[in-house]
Amino acid sequence: MYDLIIIGAGPAGITASIYAARKKMNFLVISKDIGGQTNWTKNIENYTGYLFITGDDLVKKFSEHLKRFNIQIKEFESVTAVEKEEDFIKVITEKNEYKTKAVIIASGRTPRKLGVKGEEEFRNKGVAYCATCDAPMFAGKDVLVVGGGNAAIDAAIQLMKIANKVYIADIDSQLKADPIMVEKIKNNEKVRIYNNSSLKEIYGEKLVSGVKLDIKGKTSDLKVQGVFIEAGSVASSNFTKGVLKNEAGEIFVDCGCRTNIEGIFACGDVTNVPAKQIVTACGEGTKATLSAFNYITRKK
């Protein structure tokens, strides 16, 4: 029987675990990876204390902090269910079953799929969801980035240093990304932006060779060898049972990261907290563990 189980090891889960270690709690971390969405980010310029740091380097810093406290982590293990029993909570994975007095859900988000023709067929054959991971494979090629938010423009910035041409298809009339990011691509001769456009089909033989775009109501054919889908993400909360969520699948929490079920807490991008930022997730992870610690202490 654990005092606490933390699901996820992104910025929120890592911070929650560090605070749990400092509180000398008997706890376990279960996560598919270390770093979460930080692994997908190339350059970070808004994390307090660092004028600039890469996503890879920040994940290394996170890992060093975890090792310092000798935190027990079940890595590469996916949670399939969280169930509240009378006097404990059961956390079920595809490998094991655990019992705990409290749970912190910090499972983050996963990339949103568009569901267009060819998307699944050409996944990892030209279709990618992470420029930080996959951009080097498209050196000298023509690529399409789908989306107009910060993630999409960050992908375009990475790709314009590597690819031959970078096309951006954005469903809105103007890019939603931060102006400072948009400025970096605006006058680059490699980049072409299609506003009011959407991806309709991805085609090719063994690998992607082109796409069909709907641009202002007209279908256009575009020859590309890579498609980076950066159309946002969805909360990784489908394993929760009885926890209140909004239409987007985000878990409702109060200012103490408490859910509607006693003993179950949530923090970071999986929740309805509006600011999806690394630094925000860290703060929410802190609050979640302090709330869980107080809950367990009061229960004793």
| pLDDT at residue 49, rounded to an integer | 92
Residue 92 in tokens: 């079920």
Given the candidates 3.20.20.140, 3.40.50.2300, 3.50.50.60, 3.30.450.40, the CATH classification of the domain at 127-229 is 3.50.50.60
Q: Would the pLDDT of 41 be above 90?
A: no
| pLDDT at residue 180, rounded to an integer | 92
| pLDDT at residue 5, rounded to an integer | 98
Q: Would the pLDDT of 55 be above 90?
A: no
- Nearest to residue 125, comparing CAs of 218, 207, 222? 207
> How does pLDDT run across 234-257, given as a tens digit for each residue?
999 999 989 999 999 999 999 999
Q: Would the pLDDT of 37 be above 80?
A: yes
Taking residues 16-27, report their average pLDDT.
97
- Whole-number Å distance between alpha carbons of 275 and 169: 25
| pLDDT at residue 112, rounded to an integer | 87
The DSSP output letter for 130 is -
- Torsion sign, CA atoms 118, 120, 124, 127: positive
% of the chain residues with pLDDT over 90:
79
Decide if 2-111+233-299 and 127-229 have a common fold.
Answer: yes
Residue 108 in tokens: 């983050």
- Whole-number Å distance between alpha carbons of 267 and 282: 9
What average pLDDT does the structure give for the chain?
Answer: 93
pLDDT category at 42 given cuts 50, 70, 90 is confident
- Nearest to residue 118, comparing CAs of 229, 254, 217? 229
| pLDDT at residue 152, rounded to an integer | 94
Domain ranges (residues) in the chain:
2-111+233-299, 127-229
* Alpha-carbon separation of residue 196 from 132, 170, 218, 231 (angstroms): 26, 6, 11, 14
| pLDDT at residue 84, rounded to an integer | 94
Q: Would the pLDDT of 43 be above 80?
A: no
Q: Would the pLDDT of 300 be above 70?
A: no
| pLDDT at residue 232, rounded to an integer | 82
**CATH hierarchy code of domain 2-111+233-299:** 3.50.50.60
> How does pLDDT run across 68-101, given as a tens digit for each residue?
998 989 999 999 999 999 889 999 999 999 999 9
Chain position carrying tokens 């109501």: 217
- Whole-number Å distance between alpha carbons of 62 and 107: 16
> How does pLDDT run across 208-226, given as a tens digit for each residue?
999 999 999 999 999 999 9
Taking residues 178-199, report their average pLDDT.
94
The string of DSSP letters for 157-213 reads HHHTTTSSEEEEE-SSSS--S-HHHHHHHHT-TTEEEE-SEEEEEEEESSSEEEEEE
pTM to 2 decimal places:
0.80
> How does pLDDT run across 128-177, given as a tens digit for each residue?
988 877 888 899 999 999 999 998 999 999 999 999 999 999 999 999 99
- Whole-number Å distance between alpha carbons of 57 and 73: 20
